[in-house]
Structure 1
Amino acid sequence: MLETGQIRTLEVAREAAFGYFLSDGETDVLLHKNETEGVLREGQEIEVFLYMDNQERLAATMHQPLLQMGQFDWLKVTDVNKRMGVFLDMGIQKELLLSKDDLPFNWAQWPQVGDRVFVGLKHDRRGRLLAKLGLDVELAEHEKQGTRDLINTEVSGNVYRVIEPGAFLFTDENYIAFIHREDMNGTIRLGEFVTARVKSIRDDGRINVTHQASKKEAYYDDSESILQILQDRGGAMPFTDKTSPETIRERFGISKAAFKRAMGKLLKERKVYQEEGWTYLTSMKQ
């Protein structure tokens, strides 16, 4: 029995105005002219990939698909239709649909054009090809185990799964990584290419990543921001490490703890000093 999603060897049974009819001896299959390679003759045996065309007829193409039944790969998003789902380029004229039923409920987490989604093939009730999302089990044979020397380094990869607590990505280095929603800078979508810092290594060798800077980088960034604010105010400001957390959050956009760490760094480096509830640039001191 002929099924879509397979490469089969079929015989050219006869030519038609719009292409050829192929046969396995029992079933006729349409090969559109724009799906052929070279001139064909009756009786010739050719390898073709089977799919359903736009009129839901069993059809064939001589072009090599990027995916066959039983395989998984990363396919590029070519179009987004909120009524149906997203369409993927699988190397033939017929695009592959990843149904909205298999996509996150939140539209902001849907893939965008140009994203790459990790999928395999499945059939609907009519025998048409649909995409299905690949999971950890399909990536396991390519997966590498993370080691502690990765901590605080950057990794990049595409998101292959989005869940309520966060998102999973498969990095260019073949690590499976998880980023918790509290470690994200905004919403992360399925298929998005993400760069993040390795935060920790799990016991199973998988890695946890974050968009947040390391403490060392955060100290530097926060202290530089404080210096800039001081310079903009002429070298003095009525804020110290005794200022209330609410005022610190409102004025500097960081927590009281982060402010105290950054201020402590500046005091230790003698770039600032404090007197009577004010902070001053040391360079302005006479």
Structure 2
Amino acid sequence: MEELGLVSELPINRFTDFGAYLGLASGDEVLLPQGYLTGDEKEGDLIEVFVYTDSEDRPVAVTERPLAYLDDFAVLEVKHKTSFGAFLDWGLPKDLFLPNSEMGKEMKEGDKVLVKVCIDNKTNRLIGVGKYAGFLDPAPEEFTTGLPLTGLIFDKTDLGFKVLVEDQFEGLLYKNEVFEKIEIGETRTVYIKKRREDGKLDLLLLPPNRTKYDDGAEKILKILESKGSLKLHDKSAPEEIKAELGMSKKHFKQSIGQLYKARKILILPDGIVLNSTN
């Protein structure tokens, strides 16, 4: 079934007491349960649905969206652990099953784990695969120091945080080089510090040689790097600053003072902006 694990736009073939049967590319049908219908649909209408399998491993269509589709990587929380595997919360009524044979490590309820959504060839149902290494490639040799990439934080070890880079490579943020709170499952821009001989990457949260400021100044700087400006200044009301940044006015003034002295920002009458000349 080519629609399994994906979002597809499917036509309504017919209605029953249980819902609507939608036509698949193969000529077969899949049920969209009654609870997903508004009552305004008619035969021939196209409906955008996600197709997976229900608790009895029958194909079913839903209008909800999972946290990950077929062939996607995602960090998902373990809802239930059993003797034969784990069930992961992926945002749908039926949890995603991770068999023991596909677990990359021991886990317990509440853990967040990296999996790839795959089709189990034996049962033809969607499963999570925690043995991720076989899906990854060595980083290209032309990856140079300072290159910005997208990274998914997926595990914490004694050395630091493991990162899935661009859904294709593995990297590491060393804990002695992480100076802010990061969460498992968080997506960050990361920078290459070094490509190791095994093709894995040593990573940084800041570009190499970039000065590290205190937490408040870093927060403001990241907002400015993203938006270009911030409509706050040293005359702004404390309540305004608290609502926007979650910090006191005193902390805000100290932070922008540090950035101003470093010539990273300009303080204007109506706010602050990045100093483009620096």
More helix as a share of residues: 1
TM-score for the superposition, normalised by structure 1: 0.48
TM-score for the superposition, normalised by structure 2: 0.50
Structure index of larger Rg: 1
